Amino acid sequence: MKIAVVILNWNGKALLQKFLPSIIEHSQEATIYVADNASTDDSIAFVTSNFPEIKIIRNKENGGYAKGYNDALKHLEEDVFCLVNSDIEVTKNWLNPILNTFKTETNTAIIQPKILDYKKKTHFEYAGAAGGFIDKFGYPYCRGRIFDTIEEDKGQYNTNSEIFWASGACFFIRKDVFNTLNGFDESFFAHMEEIDLCWRAFNLGYTTKYISESTVYHVGGATLNTTNPKKTYLNFRNSLATLTKNASGNIFILLFTRLTLDGLAAFKFLIEFKFAHILAILKAHFSFYSRLPKLLKQRKQLQKKTNYYNVKSVVWSYFATKHKRFTNL
C-alpha cells in the first residue's frame, strides 16, 4: 500500500524549515509532497535546495485548503493520501499503525491520529484532539476538546475507535474514497471542509477512525488563529453549509434552532466586548442565506443517514449542564 504525505503550503517557509525535518525522518514509508498554493515567498526555493527528495506540486492559485488539496491530489497515484498541515511535528512510527488499519479494515476510509498540542505537549490540541463528533445542530466537538475546554492526555483516549470526523490538520483518506466523494467542497475555502467530507463519507456507509498509537503535535492557528474574526466567519458559515447539505430530517426546523443558538453565541461575544466576532457571525449568516438555494440543491443530491449524532446539543450540555468533558456527555 503506497502512501503520499502531502503538505499544503502558502508562504510558509518558516514552518517548513521547522517541521519538514521530522516528517522526512519519520516517513520512510511515504512519498512526500509539498503542494504550493501560489506562494509569493521563497518557500519552494528553500525546499528544492534543502530537501531535493521532496516532490513539489505547484497550484496556480491560492484556493485555500479545499481547492488547494483538490488540485494537488488530482494526479497522485498513491493508494492513501495523508494531508498534513505545515505546522505539524510527527513522531517515530506514526504511519505504520494507520497503514495497518487501512490494510486490515477495508471499510475504514478515513483516519486521524492522536493530535497533541505542540506548545503544551501534555494536552490535546484544539483542532482534532482524539477524534471529532457532531451534535444534532451541526456543532462539532472532540474527544479531549469541547469548545475551549481542552483535556490533558492521561491515556483516557488510548483506544482505537470509530469517530464521526477526522481533523484536517492530519487527515488520512483512501484515494478511491476521496475520488468517489469528489474531494472537498471548494466553496468552503478553509475550515470545516473535512467535516463536510467525513459527513458525506458517513452517509455513504464509510467508517472514520481514530488510531491512538499514532501521535502528532500541532501548533494550531499558524495560518489563522482562534482570535481572528475571519476564522469565526468561516467556521459559522461553513458549519451552516455542512448541516444544510448533510443532516437528515426537517432541515428548516434544524436551521431555525441552529440560528437561534448562533444568536446566543453572538450575545456571548457581546458581553466579552468582541464586537468584530459579532460582525463575523452576521456576515457568515448573510453569506449562508445567499448560498442557501445552491446548498438545498446539493442536499437533494446527497444520500443521508439518520444516526449522525450521539449528543442532541453539545451547546446545552456544555453551557447549561456544565458537562465539559467528552466522557461526561
> Minimal CA–CA distance to 166: which of 143, 198, 205, 212?
198
Instruction: Please count the other Cβ atoms lying within 10 Å of the Cβ belonging to residue 151.
Output: 20
In this structure, the answer to whether residues 29 and 86 fall within a common structural domain is yes
User: pLDDT-derived band of residue 285, with 50, 70 and 90 as boundaries?
Assistant: very high
Question: Among 189, 218, 247, which residue terminates a domain?
Answer: 218
- Using CA atoms, how far apart are residues 291 and 285, in angstroms rounded to an integer? 10
Are 142 and 130 contacting, i.e. CB atoms less than 8 angstroms apart? yes
Residue 240 resides in a domain:
yes
225-237 pLDDT, tens digit per residue, is 567 899 999 999 9
Parent domain of 148: 3-218
Number of domains in the chain: 2
Angle at 173 between CA 170 and CA 174, to 5 degrees: 155
Q: Which amino acid is at 323?
A: H
64-87 pLDDT, tens digit per residue, is 999 999 999 998 999 999 999 999
Residue 263 resides in a domain:
yes
In this structure, the answer to whether residues 188 and 288 fall within a common structural domain is no
* Stated pTM of the model: 0.95
pLDDT of 132: 98
User: pLDDT-derived band of residue 190, with 50, 70 and 90 as boundaries?
Assistant: confident
Q: Which amino acid is at 111?
A: I
93-142 pLDDT, tens digit per residue, is 999 999 999 999 999 999 999 999 999 999 999 999 999 999 999 999 99
Strand, helix or coil for residue 221 = coil
- Using CA atoms, how far apart are residues 81 and 178, in angstroms rounded to an integer? 9
In this structure, the answer to whether residues 198 and 135 fall within a common structural domain is yes
- Residue 156, exposed/middle/buried by CB under 10 A (0-12, 13-18, 19+)? middle
